Amino acid sequence: MKSSARVVVIGGGVVGASVLYHLTKAGWTDVVLVERKELTAGSTWHAAGGMHTLNGDPNVARLQQYTVNLYKEIEKESGQNCGIHLPGGVQLADTPERLDWLKMAHARGKYLGMKMEIISVKEAKVLKPLLEEKYFVGALYDEDEGSVDPYGVTHAYAICARNRGAEVYTNTWVTGLNHRADGTWDVITDKDHTIHAEHVVNAGGLWAREVGRMCGLELPVLAMEHHYLMTEPMEEVIDFNRVNGRELPHMIDFAGEIYAAKRVKVFCSAHTNKTIVHGRRKRHHGISCFNCCRTILSALRQNLSGALLTSLLLAALALKNSSTDRLPFRQTAIRWLARSRACLACGRLVPSWPACHRVAA
């Protein structure tokens, strides 16, 4: 392990690995990354890996466009499979106001050279047959939307950085930071070893707040609850892929605050507005886990709206008072609920399913 470096990056997730890569690409080769466990062991390992160029800020949109293209470069350079899938994506507008916003984003994207187009709901239905048309007024199609494997991307960044002279130290905890009078830093590790650095980059992710406290900074960084589910293989998706020779496009439903990716199985993700405080984080074999206070079904109920029904799988999770006999994937969802022992009426985990109050069977 080095005793000095120009830059020490703390955190071996996709952000830390990207910083390391870009430093070496800029010619800063005397750089190291320090990770408490293995690369991606924080929040990166369970990231969905979705990517798109749509953003209300044109600078961020340009950065996202750069990143989508960069993944192809680092995959080729490193030899590490990044799991790149670019089936395109449909951003759905549930109101005229939302459609106006998509038109604005499209105009910016066109200026930036992005491959986007405003499409009708009927055209969106052709691209995505699982769509419930009646809940939408229009959509934006993004040709460069898709997903990557966050684990593969992180390791590709690290391999490219190492090839340029960087070093990566895993299973090494940073336990303290000492700011010297000359402005440089002592990075203290649990290996009874200190690295003297000109610069320190805090890429601690879930632990960025704790790293900040090592040098007297209180950073407003908190994790957000993020729930997802994955179905069994679905014949409807398999048939579409086979007949059309392509994967179903991604879908973003802004009103429902969900997005879905469909290859053979369906992956759906939902966000909540709840933060998870430090005391509720726990470590399990080095992988970050959360004690979430609600099940995924509860989170989906929180966001339930007409637009949410765009994903027929999620519609199959319809709660009490919802009409479900028209939903073709209802039984798939019920099998998933049975395995997770979640009550379809209230979302609570129960000892034996169904065993809660009223279950929409």
Residue 257 has pLDDT above 50, yes or no: yes
pLDDT at 124: 93
**In angstroms, rounded to a whole number, what is the distance separating the alpha carbons of residues 55 and 286?**
34
160 versus 333: which is more confidently predicted?
Answer: 160
Band (pLDDT 50/70/90 cuts) for residue 340 is very low
State which amino acid sits at residue 127.
L
User: pLDDT tens digits, residue range 36-45?
Assistant: 999 999 888 8
| Most confident among 122-136, 148-162, 257-271 (mean pLDDT) | 148-162
**In angstroms, rounded to a whole number, what is the distance separating the alpha carbons of residues 34 and 20?**
11
HEC string of 220-273 equals CCCEEEEEEEECCCCHHHHHHHHHHCCCCCEEEECCCCEEEEECCCEEEEEEEE
Tokens read off for 215: 């040098």
Residue 208 has pLDDT above 70, yes or no: yes
Among 115-129, 191-205, 239-253, whose mean pLDDT is lowest?
Answer: 239-253
Tokens read off for 285: 């074999």
73 versus 274: which is more confidently predicted?
Answer: 73
Band (pLDDT 50/70/90 cuts) for residue 358 is very low
Torsion angle in degrees (nearest 10) through CA of 317, 322, 324, 330: 10
- Report phi then psi at 349, rounded to 5: -75, 135
| Region for 320 from its dihedrals, namely left if φ exceeds 0, alpha if ψ lies in -120 to 50, beta otherwise | beta
**In angstroms, rounded to a whole number, what is the distance separating the alpha carbons of residues 311 and 289?**
27
CA count, 13 A, side-chain hemisphere, 166: 29
| Mean pLDDT, rounded, for 274-288 | 43
Residue 34 has pLDDT above 70, yes or no: yes
Tokens read off for 297: 């079904």
Torsion angle in degrees (nearest 10) through CA of 45, 149, 170, 67: -110
pLDDT at 20: 98
Band (pLDDT 50/70/90 cuts) for residue 355 is very low
Please state the domain extents for the chain: 4-49+149-213, 223-361
| Mean pLDDT, rounded, for 89-109 | 92
**In angstroms, rounded to a whole number, what is the distance separating the alpha carbons of residues 228 and 268?**
5
Identify whether the C-beta of residue 347 lies closer than 8 Å to the C-beta of residue 337.
Answer: no
Among 54-63, 131-140, 291-300, whose mean pLDDT is lowest?
Answer: 291-300
Among 10-24, 107-121, 198-212, 238-252, whose mean pLDDT is lowest?
Answer: 238-252
Band (pLDDT 50/70/90 cuts) for residue 331 is very low
14 versus 230: which is more confidently predicted?
Answer: 14
Identify the CATH class of 4-49+149-213: alpha beta
Residue 312 has pLDDT above 50, yes or no: no
Mean pLDDT of the chain: 77
Residue 318 has pLDDT above 70, yes or no: no
pLDDT at 336: 40
For 22, residues 6+ apart whose C-beta sits below 8 A from its C-beta are none
**In angstroms, rounded to a whole number, what is the distance separating the alpha carbons of residues 161 and 14?**
13
